[in-house]
Amino acid sequence: MERRNFLKTTLLSLFAGGATSGLYTWQVEPFWLEFVRHKMPVAHLPEHLIGKTLMQISDLHVGNRFDYHYIIDSLKKAQAFEPDFVAYTGDFVSWEGPEQLTQLDEVLPHFVKGQLGTVGILGNHDYGKNWSQQTVADQIAPRLENAGVDLLLNRQTTVHGLNFIGFDDYWGLNFDPETAMANYNAQVANIVLCHNPDVCDLDVWNGYQGWILSGHTHGGQCKPPFLVPPMLPVKNKRYAAGEIDLYDGRTLYINRALGHLWQVRFNVRPEITIFELVKA
């Protein structure tokens, strides 16, 4: 009888623990936003930009897979930081159909704008199903532009002395990093926006040295302690999340994503990153 009671108690404890963990990964961590602060040393940074802030927001995934009003609430919180620059690094929607355009229209008025400038790039999900629908990107892009996001699709722009270089998505239909890097000037302050970090391993960089801001991985969304996340949508499994030294003068930063493909996270909280610009 004692053994039976022991087994019963043990099973009930395991069940309760599993239920609690499941509830946490489903209803708590996916909406437990973290504002992550980092220094960003930039070569040739103009004196007037020292101490300015750059906010990176990535992978909103507005759609039906979770309550996207969490995105609106998060953007409202982010606005309070009044960043000088804002960079959006792709995957604005999780495309299933035209409904996502209506949903995105509801979110766009709450987008965070930089006091000096706001730039962005597209991600693979912004190209619709199987990343192959140009008509989807053609409807998302003008909405972002009208909301004040300067989309850098294989091109550069200089904003108050800070040069942003934007790659169109690696898995999308218009990936052309050679064009983006054709006029790379190593003597100015540069930052590259590149949704998929696997691009870092391609021979397309034209001698670039500096920061690369990426997203795409969501940090794996679920990460066992001390182990590599079991599901990463990249070839190079080193590219999970956070700051990564590429050992050639480039520094990669992978944002863990504000939204999620599926409403589950463990040990990988959603993130908005706030960089303080300093002179390298």
For the segment 48-91, what is each residue's pLDDT rounded down to a tens digit? 999 999 999 999 999 999 999 999 999 999 999 999 999 999 99
Q: How far apart are CA 201 and CA 217, in angstroms?
A: 16
Would you say the C-alpha torsion 262, 38, 195, 159 has a positive or negative sign? positive
One domain, residues 18 and 157: no
Q: Provide CB contacts within 8 A for 50, sequence distance 6+.
A: 277, 278, 279
Q: What is the CA radius of gyration of the chain?
A: 20
23 and 96 together in one domain = no
Q: Are residues 19 and 69 in the same domain?
A: no
Domain that holds residue 103: 33-279
**Are residues 136 and 26 part of one domain?**
no
Burial per residue of 190-226, b for 16 or more beta-carbon CB atoms within 10 angstroms, e otherwise: bbbbbbbbbbbeeebbeebebbbbbbbbbbbbbbeee
Number of structural domains in the chain: 2
Q: How, if at all, do strands 34-42 and 242-245 pair? A: unpaired
Q: Let me know whether 17 and 137 are in one domain.
A: no
Are 22 and 108 members of one domain?
Answer: no
CATH code at position 234 = 3.60.21
User: Do residues 202 and 243 both lie within one domain?
Assistant: yes
2 and 66 in a single domain? The answer is no
> What are the structure tokens assigned to 76, written together?
């409202």
Pairing of strands 85-89, 53-57: parallel
Q: Answer yes or no: is pLDDT of 15 > 80.
A: no
Does residue 9 sit in the same domain as residue 117? no
The pLDDT tens digits for 96-118 are 999 999 999 999 999 999 999 99
pLDDT recorded at residue 9: 46
Handedness of CA 46, 180, 252, 240 (dihedral sign): positive
**133/84 same-domain check:** yes
Tell me, yes or no, whether 21 and 122 share the same domain: no
Q: Write out pLDDT tens, residues 214-259.
A: 999 999 999 999 888 988 999 999 999 999 999 999 999 999 999 9
Whether 110 and 235 map to the same domain: the answer is: yes
Helix (H, G, I), strand (E, B) or coil at 28: helix
Pull the structure tokens for residue 173. Answer: 């239909």
